[in-house]
Structure 1
Amino acid sequence: MAFAAFADSLNFSEAARRLHISQPALHVKVRKLSERLDRPLYCRVGRSLELTEHGELIARYGRQLRDGTADLLAQLHGLAERPVTLAAGEGAYLYLLHAGIKAFQNGAPAPLRLLTLNREEALAAVLCGKAQLGVAPLDDVPDQLQSMVLTTVGQVLAVPQSHRLAGRTRVKLTDLAGERLVVPPRGRPHREMLAALLRAADVSWEVALEANGWELMLSFVAMGAGAAVVNACCRLPAGVVAIALPELPVLRYHCFHLRGLAKSTPAGHLRAALQDRGNAWKTST
C-alpha cells in the first residue's frame, strides 16, 4: 500500500508525508519491492517520474488492497463508506448521467466523487484504480475491463434558425460544402473524426472558431459564428435547431470498470443506477 501512495502522486516527499514516514524510509520500501519483484516500477522522464508497465500493475493492486481494507474497517467500526469515484467527460455529466447520479444520491449508499476526464484519461483512471467506474464512448474495451452500453447517441448539425439549412430534417456531408464550422481544437477526437469524414466526402469547409465542450460550441452557434456538429443529446440554446446527420457514426457510451465488481458494493449500485437511467436524456430533450 506504500507503493500505491507513491503512485498516486509520483512524489516521494508528498507520499511520505501522507504515510507519516520519512522520505528515505519510503525510498527503501519502494526499492525493496522492486528488488523482490525483479522489475523496475518507475523511471525518470526529464524531471518527472513515471510508472513502468509493471509499476502500473502493482499500483492498481495496491489501491484495490488499500480500498478494500478501508471498506472493511469502515464496516467494523460503523464508519461512513468511502466515496465511489466516477470518471467521465463534461458532456456525459451534463447530458447523459444526471438522472442516474441523482438516483444514486437519493439512495445514498456512499459519497460520490466525480472526475471530469476525457475518454483516454477515464480509461486510464479506471485501469489504475483511481476510479471505480468510467463512462465514455468506446469502440474497443481493454481486456482488463468489463463494460455495458448505457445509451447510443447520434450526431446532429446545429445551426441558427436563420441558417440556409435550418428547414431541413436531415442533411448529407456534401451539404456542408463551404460551411464555417465551430469545432474543437486540433487533435481532439471529435475534430479529427469530422475532418476525416469531410475529407473522404471531398467536402471543403472552414474553421469558424475553435472551442472546447458542447456548451461553448453551441453558444457560438447561437451567436451566429457558424454551424457545429454535436451529440444529439445536447440541449440546444434558444434560436438553434438540430438537423440529423445520418452519415456520421452513432456513439455508444459505455460504463466500464475492472472485472469482478460486485453488485452489492456502492460502485455496483452506482453502475445499476446509471444503467437503469442511461436513456433518460431521450425523454428530457
Structure 2
Amino acid sequence: MANPRVSSDALAAFAVFADHLNMTRAAKELHISQPSLHSKLATLARELGRPLYLRAGNRLRLTADGERVARFARDHQERLDLFLAELRGVPATRPLVIASGHTAYLYLLGDVIRGMLSERPGSLRPLHTNRQEMQAAVRTGQAHLGVFSLHVLPADLVTVPIARYPQMLLMPAEHPLASRRSLRLRDLAGAELIVPPPTRPHRINLERALTDAGIGWTIAVEAEGLPMTLDFAALGVGLAVVAGCVEPPPGLVARPIADLPHVTFHAIHRPGALDDPRVADLFARIREAVPAPARRRAAGRPRSRGPAQRSASAPSRYA
C-alpha cells in the first residue's frame, strides 16, 4: 500500500487543536470556522488511519496516537519556523514554552523569565500546570522544558535535579515553635494544618508521614495552591508545611522539619531537546539562577540519563 500523503496544513491545525482541546478556541486562533477545522482534523485522521482524539464526558482528549501526532506536528512546525527565519535572515519568533507550577514560578524561575523577556519580549511563554499536565505538555511538545518537584521520574523523559530544599513548618512569629531552630514531626502533634485537597501528592505524603509517626493532627482548611496556602497562614488560620524555598510572608517564620524528606525540583525535557541551542540556553539559565546551596544539595541526587532509567526521589512533592 502506498504511503499516505499528509497535509502540512492539517498538521498545523492539529497542533493548535491539541493545545486547546476545544474546537471553538482552536478555530478562533486559526481564524477558520469550526466546520473547517473539524474537516481538517477528520482528513488527517483518515490519512493516518488512526483516531486522534475522543470525547470523555464533556471534554475532548487525545488518544495515544493523537499525542504522538501532536508531538510530531509541533516539532514539524517549529523546524519550519526556524528554517524560514534562517532563510530570511531574521531571528526566530516562535517563543519557548516552559511548564511549571506555583512554587517554581514564584521562587525559582522569576529572574530567568524577567531576564529573557527584557532581553527579547515574547521569547518565552510560561505555561501554568500541575505535575501531570507538565509531563504531558513536555511529552507532546507543547512545552520545551518543565520544572517541577517529582516523586516518580518518568521513564520516557530526561529529568535533571536542579534544586533541593528541606520541608519547613510555616507559622506566626509568636508561635511557641518559632523559637526553635529545628523541629521534628512529633512537634506537630495536635497542630491545625493548612493542607492541599486529599488527592494532591503533598497531602498524601504528609498524611502518611504523620500517621507513620503516630502524630495526631487536624485540618484547619484545605487550600488549593501555594498562594492560597500562604494567605491562610498569614490570616492565622493554621500552620503549613512548605518547601524551604518559600519566603515567609511578613509576620510568619519557617523552621525545618528534620525528619521529613527534602523536596527536589527537576528540569524535565524530551531526549534530544537540548540540541536546540535556545532550549539549552534556557536550561543553563535556570540552573544558574538556583541559589548555590540548593544547587549543591541537588547535585548529590541521582540523574535520569534517558528513557531507560528511572529513579525515586524525595517522597514529598509540591505544585
TM (norm. structure 2) is: 0.79
In the alignment, the residues of structure 1 paired with residue 185 and residue 154 of structure 2 have an alpha-carbon distance, to the nearest angstrom, of: 32
Match of 1:229 in 2: 241
Residues 1:247 and 1:273: Cα distance change in structure 2 (over 3 Å): same
Return the alpha-carbon distance in structure 2 between the equivalents of residues 128 and 51 of structure 1. Answer: 10
1:143 maps to: 155
Task: Give the residue type in structure 1 aligned to 2:123.
Answer: P
Asked if the contact 2:164/2:294 (under 8 Å) is kept, the reply is: no
Shift of 1:151: 0.6
Are the equivalent residues in 2 in contact too, given 1:88–1:116 (CA < 8 A)? yes
Q: Which runs of 5 or more residues in structure 1 are unaligned? A: none
Of 283, 291, 306, the residue aligned with 1:271 is: 283
How many angstroms apart in 2 are the aligned matches of 1:205 and 1:214?
A: 20
Q: Residue deviations 1:208-249, cap 9 Å, x none?
A: 122233343234333332211111111112332222112112
Give the Å deviation of 1:79: 5.0
Cα offset, 1:185, TM superposition:
2.3
CA contact (8 A) 1:99 1:280 kept: no
More divergent stretch after superposition (150-159 vs 12-21): 12-21
Deviation at 1:112, TM superposition (A): 1.1
Using a 3 Å threshold, how does the CA distance of structure 1 residues 42 and 104 change in structure 2: closer, same or farther? Answer: same
Pick aligned residue for 2:220 from 205, 208, 211: 208
Contact 1:86 1:113 in 2 (8 A): yes
Query: Aligned residue for 1:57?
Result: 68
| Aligned residues between the structures | 283
Q: Contact conserved, 2:163 with 2:294, CA < 8 A, in 1?
A: no
Q: Which moved more, 1:226-235 or 1:161-170?
A: 161-170
Residue 79 of structure 2 is aligned with which of 59, 68, 77? 68
Q: 1:16 to 1:244 in 2, by over 3 A?
A: closer
1:132/1:257 contact within 8 Å kept? yes
Q: Is residue 109–residue 266 contact of structure 1 (8 Å, CA) maintained in 2?
A: no
User: CA shift at 1:153, angstroms?
Assistant: 1.4
CA distance in 1, matches of 2:26, 2:177: 57
Distance (whole Å) between structure 1 residues aligned to residue 280 and residue 91 of structure 2 = 19
TM-score, scaled to structure 1: 0.88
Q: Which residue of 1 aligns with 2:5?
A: none
CA distance in 2, matches of 1:252, 1:265: 26
Aligned amino acid, residue 65 of structure 2: H
**Residue 153 (structure 1) aligned with residue 153 (structure 2):** no
Identity of aligned residues (%): 41
1 CA distance for matches of 2:52 and 2:99?
A: 25
Shift of 1:54: 0.8
Is 1:179 equivalent to 2:188 in the alignment?
no
Q: Is the 8 A contact 1:80 1:110 kept in 2?
A: no
One-letter amino acid matched to 1:204? G
Residues 168-206 of structure 1 show CA distances to partners (whole Å, capped at 9, x for unaligned) of 122221221111112222222212211111111111111
User: How far did residue 152 of structure 1 move?
Assistant: 0.6
What residue number does 1:118 align with? 130
Match for residue 120 of structure 2? Answer: 108
- Offset at residue 4 of structure 1 (A): 2.0
Cross-structure match for 2:100: 88
Of stretches 165-174 and 40-49 in structure 1, the one that deviates more from structure 2 is 40-49
Give the AA of the match of 2:82.
Answer: D
Question: How far apart are the structure 1 equivalents of 2:105 and 2:36?
Answer: 42
Equivalence for 2:316: none
Matches of 1:43 and 1:195 in 2, distance apart?
A: 36
What SS is found at the alignment partner of 1:242?
A: strand
Deviates more, 1:234-243 or 1:96-105: 96-105
In the alignment, is residue 169 of structure 1 matched against residue 181 of structure 2?
yes
- Matched residues in 2 for 1:237 and 1:12: separation? 42
Whole-angstrom distance in 1 between the partners of 2:190 and 2:147: 35
Instruction: Work out whether residues 116 and 123 of structure 2, in 8 Å CA contact, stay in contact via their aligned partners in 1.
Output: no
Which runs of 5 or more structure 2 residues have no equivalent in the other structure?
1-10, 296-319
Q: Distance in 2 between matches of 1:80 and 1:148?
A: 27
2:208 aligns with 196
